Structure formats: structure tokens, C-alpha cells
Structure 1
Amino acid sequence: MMTEPLTMPPILYLPCFDYQVHRQRPQQLLYHLSLLGFNVIYCNVTQDREHPFVILNDHFAVCQDTEALDLGRPYVMWLTHGPYVDSLPGFNASLIISDLADTTEEEFAPFAVWEDRKIQAADIVLCASRIIYETTAPKHPQVHLVRNAADYAHFAQAVQKTPLPIPDEKDQQLCRATEPIIGFWGAVASWLDYSLIRMIAAERPQYTFIFIGQITCHGPDSLSDLPNVHWLGNRDYESLPWFASHFDAAIIPFEIRKVTNAANPVKMYEYMAAGLPVISTDLPEVRLQKHVRIGRSPAQFLRHLDEALLQDRSPELIQARQATAQEESWTQRAEFIKERIIETFLRKYESSD
């Protein structure tokens, strides 16, 4: 039995996304675990050997020079990117956590070759949606459903009176529109339903549609003739509450297919934390949220959008959406994972005594 105090090695996340560019599931979970006392080293893709480590808090460091890592020390390895399974032998892994945020089908099919190996290599497997969990649970004894969430305090600023970072003049001017502003943030990717976006924008020329996020496909090019649809590209995470404070509603216009059926949109929780009415296409994880309107056809989506603007912006409904988001926070998710890490680490430690 263990008689000395528990000393947990730092969690190491190998380069996949730069921390400041994206603030998605890995960044949020790892940062909130650091707030619970876990030491975390998050490796950026972009390297800067003159500044190998950037310290964000007492327990969280962004590594900008992977050659500066101490490969002799033990780490808790946090895997999201399948190919890093091949890199595990180069590390002293005291624990391996595999986090499955997406299915490995359609756009993500190239990663399927690593998926089972990523699961089998792990001590703990986390799944972001019920569909991923049900597929994975028979393959490993320690599989846990840990859905996405919101950084509630960050997005709740949209309805608070605290000053917010102000974007550039062009963005400010766009958001001064007196007509309804319909917002979106996240990856502008191939799984957006561009035919649906065209229909609702063409049917409601008096609405302004603003899309924020990295553009990774040619879909927006097909809508360049619509003057009320604006593709802003990336904006700082810190600026999203400001945009949310100017949106009248927010949308999740995903196609319905394998990739999206297995998705658990982070933006859904963030929209609710910002108090916004939310309209989505019919996704399994979205159906669980009573405060999200679901459009099962283009006509129904448009009708829900119109009704949300008229009916869903009362203080009571804003508070109800925020209350839901507060219960679905990254802090809550991190606390659950903390318990799983400690119990698994203790079990391995004690069994080796």
C-alpha cells in the first residue's frame, strides 16, 4: 500500500493546435485541470526556441520548444491526435489518457488506422458524445462519457456590465446593424450546411449573418453573392463575448451525417453561457438540451429562427440558458476527470508496491 504522499507527474499534451489560436476541448479541459492543481505542459505547433515556455498560471505552461522537454521524467500523456501513439515509446508515460472528441469517419477517416491503438494504449479513455462512447465502451474497461462544456465565466460576460475587449472598427461597424444579427463561431468547415445557410439568408435579407472562425473549405465561396452573410475568419477568443453581446441569436447549421451525428458542439454550451437563443439542425447531442430549438428541415429551421428572435430573448429565458450552461461547465468536467486520474494512478501505484 502507498504510505507516502501522492506525487502526480505533469500532464503532457503534444503539438496539435496552438493554445492561443484554438480554444477547444483539449485546451479547455487541460487548463481547467491546471486550476484544480494538476501541472500541465501544453505543446504548441508553432515553435519559438527563444521563449521555450510561457507560463499561464502556477500549474500551466505552454511549451514552444519541444526540444526543451525533459524526456527523462515521467508524464501523464494526454492523447487526442492518433499518430502520437507511435511517439509514446519515446516518453516515460506513467499514465495515458486518450480523449476521443470526433468519430474517425468521413473527413476524419484518415485517423481511423490509429483509433483502436489509441484506445488500447490508454489507461483512461474519454468520449465527447454518447455515440462515440457506445462505440468505444466494448473496447476498453475504463471508458467515460465526458461531454463538451462552456467556459461559463468567460461567455457570461456577454450579458454582464463588465467592460469587454473591443474589436477593430470594421467589426464594430458590422455589429452596429439595427436589424437582427445572427451569429456563429467555430470551424467554418465542410460539415456546415451551406445550402441551408443560403436559404435562410436569402429568405431573410433583413437579417445579418456573421460567421467567426477559421475557414477550412470552399463553402463560403459559394455564398459570396449574399450581401448579408459575412465570413470574418479567426477572431481572438477573448473577443467572443463582445460579439455575443451584439448577436440576437446563434446557429449551429450542421449537415446531418456520421461526423456531425457523433459531434457534441462546444459552441452550443458557449452560446447558452452567453444567454443567446440557439437554433440547430437535428443532432443527437443537441436533442438533450431543452433550451435549443431544433430545425429538422430548412423551413422549420427558418421558422425557429424567426420565433426565437420574437420569443426567446426575455430575461427569464436568458437566465435559464445560462443556468444550464453553468451546470455544463469545463470546471465540472475537469473535476470528474480529476477523480478518474487520481483513482487510476493510485490503483497502478498500489499494484506496483
Structure 2
Amino acid sequence: MALQFTRHLTPNLRVYDNMDELSAFAGAPQGILDLERELMAKSELMFVGGQSLYESKRQRHDNIHVFPSSVDTAHFKSARDRSVDPDDQREIPHPRIGFFGVIDERMNMDIVAGISALRPQWQLVMIGPTAKISPESLPRAKNIHWLGCKQYQELPNYLSGWDVGIMPFALNEATRFISPTKTPEFLAAGVPVVSTPITDVVNPYGAAGHVEIASSAEEFVAKIDLLLSRPKAHWLSSVDASLAEMSWDKTWARMMLHIASVGAESQSAREGQLV
């Protein structure tokens, strides 16, 4: 959308960093796909935020590279060592089943309500702002706690008190190409997690045994029961080995290699034109 007020610029290099298929989101601006086509044609380099996006757009640009969501491991890993609950979570009993993120049309509310009904002794702790849906549409029950938006710095305090995490994404156009950043963040925090079969979660996280996959409230309950009873030591060891290869610094360094390479080619071309 920013192309509308930047067309007059003449940059040395354009990089299009495409983190999601925003045209599929509720309330997407009109003309966004036309603008994307124009931007892709103008950009010398393109990054995408997940394997699904890459497969969708790889034929539309001749210099496209995939960079899935990474993680601030140190920040979220601190959740493993914290023992003081935030005030609004302290009185909530265990087991606690937690979610954090934007609460919008991408969430399957039937799964949330179903888990609550099937296991009334479990407490669902739901953190995040509500967007594009009415707060009145959220499922309500004594064991569902909508705690609202929290600061990034606060998140480890909440995750430290969760027994299992959930990612109950709906399977729709808005989630077809997502690569949830919260997946490695849950893992770094040491919180076992169950997700619906989002493509970029199933592979690599589900395939590696780091995330359990479920499609219905009943399946979520079965997987959560499994995680509540399963020792975490071996799982954590495997998770940590995988996370050791991930960081935003490494992602940025790899991006900069591509930027430097294309930038050097562009500079050489300009110098050739001047000669």
C-alpha cells in the first residue's frame, strides 16, 4: 500500500518483504493485489515469511527467498525460570491452557468453546487484542479468561505459568499462508503446544515432533491430555537443539547477504551505464 506515496522515489534498490497474504484478511484494502503486482515488478529482491508463501509466489519473481519466522530465544526462554505470576493470572487455577496473539477472524472459536466445555476443570488463558470481530462473539465460560492485550516484555511472565499452549487457528483464506511467529516463541518458553494443521506449522514443527497437531476440540483435548502427562525433558532437548539454529540476528544477516549481492550488481550496472 505504501507504493501509493513512494512511486516518485528512485532508490538504488527495492526489497519487497512479504510477511503474509494480507489480501485474504478481512477488511483488506481494495486494489492491494494490483499494487502488489506493481511492487513485485519494481523490486529487484523479494523476501517471503514462510514456505507456503514461497510456494505460492516463487514463479512470480526471479529473485525470491524464504525467511520463516524466527525467535528471540533469550527473551522467551526466560519464562522457564520465572515463578511469579502477574496479578491478573495469579488466582487462576491449574492446569492452564494458554494463547497469546491477535484475536480475530483467524481464530476457531468453536475449538476454544469446545475445549472449555469438554474440560471444565482446565483454565483457558487468552491474551491479546480483539480485532475485526465483536468482543461479544467471544465464547464465554467460567474457565475462559480473556485478559486483553499485554506488552511484549510481559509475555514470559504469563507463559511461565502455562501448562500447555494452544494455537486454535481457523483453516480459512486468512490462515492459508501464515507462518505463526508464536510457534517458536512457545517452544523457547518451554511450553508444549497444540495447533490446528496450519501448513507451516505441520512442517517443520509437527514433523519434528515439537508441536502436536489437532483439528477439532475433541482432538485438542486428547493432545493436551497427552502433553499434561508427558515428561518434558526429552522434548525440550530436541526443541532447544532446533532453536539453537534460529535467531532474528541470523535471519537478518542472511537477508543482508542477498541485499549486498543485489546492491553490488545494481551498482555495477549503473557504473557501466555511466561509462
TM score, norm. by length of structure 1 = 0.70
Q: Deviations over 1:153-198 (max 9, x none)?
A: 111111136x98x74x3x2xx2343421111111111110001100
Q: Tell me, what secondary structure is at the counterpart of 1:336?
A: helix
C-alpha separation in 2, matches of 1:253 and 1:224: 13
Deviation at 1:232, TM superposition (A): 1.6
Q: Is the 8 A contact 1:194 1:219 kept in 2?
A: no
Deviation at 1:109, TM superposition (A): 4.6
Could you tell me which residue of structure 1 aligns to residue 171 of structure 2?
Answer: 256
Could you tell me which residue of structure 2 aligns to residue 107 of structure 1?
Answer: 26
Moved over 6 A (4+): none
Could you tell me which residue of structure 1 aligns to residue 70 of structure 2?
Answer: 149
C-alpha separation in 1, matches of 2:179 and 2:190: 19
Q: Is the 8 A contact 1:101 1:129 kept in 2?
A: yes
Q: Deviations over 1:37-60 (max 9, x none)?
A: xxxxxxxxxxxxxxxxxxxxxxxx
Aligned-residue CA RMSD (Å): 2.0
C-alpha separation in 2, matches of 1:251 and 1:90: 45
Unaligned 5+ residue runs, structure 1? 1-82
Q: Deviations over 1:209-263 (max 9, x none)?
A: 1111111143652345311111122111001111111111111100112221211
Q: Is the 8 A contact 1:137 1:143 kept in 2?
A: yes
Q: Which has the higher strand share?
A: 1
2:217 is matched with which residue: 286, 298, 312? 298
TM score, norm. by length of structure 2 = 0.89
Deviation at 1:113, TM superposition (A): 2.9
C-alpha separation in 1, matches of 2:174 and 2:246: 22
- The question of 1:134 aligning with 2:55 is answered yes
Letter of the structure 2 residue corresponding to residue 107 of structure 1: A
C-alpha separation in 1, matches of 2:73 and 2:34: 36
Could you tell me which residue of structure 2 aligns to residue 75 of structure 1?
Answer: none
Please give the residue correspondences for 1:42-57 in structure 2 after superposition, counting only pairs within 5 Å. Answer: none
2:153 is matched with which residue: 226, 231, 238? 238
**Are residues 319 and 242 of structure 1, via their aligned partners in 2, closer, same or farther at CA, if it must alter by over 3 Å?**
farther
Q: Deviations over 1:98-141 (max 9, x none)?
A: 11111122526533232212212212111112221122221211
**Are residues 308 and 108 of structure 1, via their aligned partners in 2, closer, same or farther at CA, if it must alter by over 3 Å?**
farther
C-alpha separation in 2, matches of 1:224 and 1:105: 24
Residues paired across the two proteins, number: 264
Please give the residue correspondences for 1:148-187 in structure 2 after superposition, counting only pairs within 5 Å. Answer: 148-160=69-81, 167=86, 169=87, 171=88, 174-187=89-102
Higher relative contact order (CA 8 A, sep 6+): 2
Taking every aligned residue pair, what percent have the same amino acid on both sides? 26
Letter of the structure 2 residue corresponding to residue 324 of structure 1: S
1:123 is matched with which residue: 31, 44, 57? 44
